Amino acid sequence: MELFGYYYNPSTDTHDVKSFNTPFKVICNSSATKDLIEEFVTVIDNKADEFAEKDSGWILLNFIHLEININKFNPLRASSFIELPPEIVRRQAVVNIRNNDDYCFAWSIVAALHTPTGVDFVTSLYPHYSTVLNTAEQDALNLYHTFLKTPKKMNTLTELEQTTDNNAKNCHICDKPLLGDKVADNCHKTGSYRGPAHSLCNINYKIPNFIPVIMHNLRTI
């Protein structure tokens, strides 16, 4: 953003156009544009004040115009193929898979494990990563099919389980009084009865109690 003003200096009887600009900033969908504009205005305000204090004598007659320059921001996309500079290619020391998907990391692992059948790094020279690696996507699908897709119905309660359930005062998950809010919690994998529970505790308990952790180069990001 750049603001142009028309100035007059009475001591030299001269007129001049002065402008004050801001640095470029990246604006994404999630950016707080209003805050950014306010920040720009503050920068321009400060620069104009500095100018007035430093080169005293100039009087602002009027603003001429405000210029806003917008350039399309094209961030580096790291997930797919990027052409290497020729000097790096010539060294033949870098594996640079020509993939068209978002699995450059998986393809690179495959390339490290398998000798290519040709000179270039096209994906057809390697076995598909899904046949070599258990990707997170595959792991998630396995978890879904194992635990969530077809939950097993609860087994019929044994006499003892039924008595326990009838007499239960506390939720077996949070250990707080049931106070009339009671459902029979069961394991969705085996169908076995686990105990009496609050309806909300029962729902929350169904969500797998693990967090997938994915590491890249064994470094945290």
Q: How far is the CB of 170 from Zn ion (least distance, A)?
A: 8
- The closest alpha carbon to 40, from 25, 50, 28, belongs to 25
Shortest separation between residue 152's beta carbon and Zn ion, angstroms: 22
Closest distance between Zn ion and the C-beta of residue 130, in Å? 41
Which lies closer to Zn ion via its Cβ, residue 44 or residue 197? 197
Residues 6+ apart with CB under 8 A from 169: 177, 178
Question: What phi and psi values does residue 60 have, to the nearest 5 degrees?
Answer: -75, 120
The footprint of Zn ion (CB under 5 A) covers: 171, 173-174, 198, 201
Residue 44 or 171 with smaller CB distance to Zn ion: 171
Q: Which of residues 141 and 200 has its CB atom nearest to Zn ion in the complex?
A: 200
Shortest distance in whole angstroms from residue 200 CB to Zn ion? 7
Token pair recorded at residue 181:
């809010």
Residue number of the CB closest to Zn ion reads 171
Residue 217's region, left for phi above 0, alpha for psi from -120 to 50, else beta, is left
Closer Cβ to Zn ion, 112 or 207, answer by number: 207
Helix (H) or strand (E) holding 159: helix 159-167
